[in-house]
Structure 1
Amino acid sequence: MTEATGIAGVGIAGGHLIPVVMADLTDHPDIQELLRVHGHVESGDCASSWIVTAGARQVILKLEFIRPVEVAFALAFDMSTSAPIVDSIVNHNALYFVHGLRGDKYLTIDSRDKVLINVPEMGFELYWEGIFLKQAASDIRKRGVSRKQARAMAPEFIEQLRSLVNIQMPPAR
């Protein structure tokens, strides 16, 4: 992953802010082709599943596209830096995926070839709450807070974070 941001649009995911995950696909022409072709069709089919590594250091989103292009790949999210992105994907059931090089910003690339990927609920969200709570407590502890205080502060930290990213566009009139 080279960059992550969010965009919201009327009529997409209820107007919620959807994370944009940018990855360098230079060595993956098959995934670039998926983005290019998907830009010319209305919809596609994609199966998804979440995988948690030992110790929950990474959360991986495995994606298997059936159409318009058949391709499978996985997005790995390092929990120490990307937990809020995973949380947004889990809570809004979607992400935008786009090609970009390290140092690129979403606003400076040609984002026409992006794909909106629906990530339906599949039970992971219940498991995710515990992972995110533990990661939030760990992040708080890095600021010199005791383990007990960090555990107590983590739920409020998550609530405040979610209030920042749960921006919603008003419905079209």
Structure 2
Amino acid sequence: MNKKMTPILKVGAIGNPNVSDGRLLPFITIDCTDCPDVENFIEVHGDAPVPGDVISTWGWKYFNNSNVYLRLDFERPIATSTYLVIPVATKGYVVEWIMAVRGFYLQSSKYGSCASEGLGKPAIIIEVPSTTTFPVWPKIYRKSLTKHFKSQGFKGKAIDDAIEAYKARQKEIWFRRPHDYHTDV
């Protein structure tokens, strides 16, 4: 099985009233250069008549919180594994988002460098159930956000307020539902 690290190149968003209760899901474009079997999985899964199975596990390296990892163990239609590398300082919000909406779209950069370029091309939805826990994540993320807001000149309670406002705004965006538009002709 492949145990390669897969970098995230871009993160976009897609909302569909027929997918994941209409939640706005992250659309993650990954570099499959070092893991062609993951790219193959995405392509084959799109054509498979049965759903694929994936087990997801969050992880991090002790004493180094610069990156966190989402291990994806695909069981069918092709058995393979990879670790999505998520830099906390620049893409920590992706971890929060995945945990909040319990899933994401995954697509190889072979089909475009961002969500709008990859629309209509092979992509899969990965469900990350609420049972996939990451107990140390709140502490890791808070430390990263604190560092960010300190660098912006915030101090003391203003940092806490900024973190809470930032998280609240994220959730407001993530849980927006696409609207059905009807016109009377």
What is the TM-score with the length of structure 1 in the denominator?
A: 0.87
Per the alignment, residue 90 of structure 1 pairs with: 99
Q: Deviations over 1:33-78 (max 9, x none)?
A: 1011001124111111000233422110000011010000000100
After TM superposition, give the deviation of residue 3 of structure 1 in Å: 0.7
Pairs aligned (count): 172
Q: How does 1:1-173 map to 2 (within 5 A)?
A: 1-41=8-48, 42-53=50-61, 54-100=63-109, 104-109=113-118, 111-122=120-131, 124=133, 126-170=135-179
96 and 160 in structure 1: CA distance in 2 versus 1, 3 angstrom threshold? same
What is the TM-score with the length of structure 2 in the denominator?
A: 0.82
107 and 152 in structure 1: CA distance in 2 versus 1, 3 angstrom threshold? closer
Q: Give the distance between the partners of 1:122 and 1:135, measured in 2 at CA.
A: 24
9-18 or 141-150, which moves further after superposition? 141-150
After TM superposition, give the deviation of residue 166 of structure 1 in Å: 2.0
CA RMSD of aligned residues (A): 2.3
Paired letter, 2:59: I
Q: Give the distance between the partners of 1:39 and 1:2, measured in 2 at CA.
A: 21
Q: Percent identity, please.
A: 21
169 and 122 in structure 1: CA distance in 2 versus 1, 3 angstrom threshold? same
After TM superposition, give the deviation of residue 133 of structure 1 in Å: 2.8
Unaligned runs of 5+ in 2: 1-7
Q: Give the distance between the partners of 1:92 and 1:128, measured in 2 at CA.
A: 16
24 and 111 in structure 1: CA distance in 2 versus 1, 3 angstrom threshold? farther
8 Å Cα contact 1:3-1:22 kept in structure 2: yes
Unaligned runs of 5+ in 1: none
Per the alignment, residue 5 of structure 2 pairs with: none
More strand by share: 2
After TM superposition, give the deviation of residue 6 of structure 1 in Å: 0.8
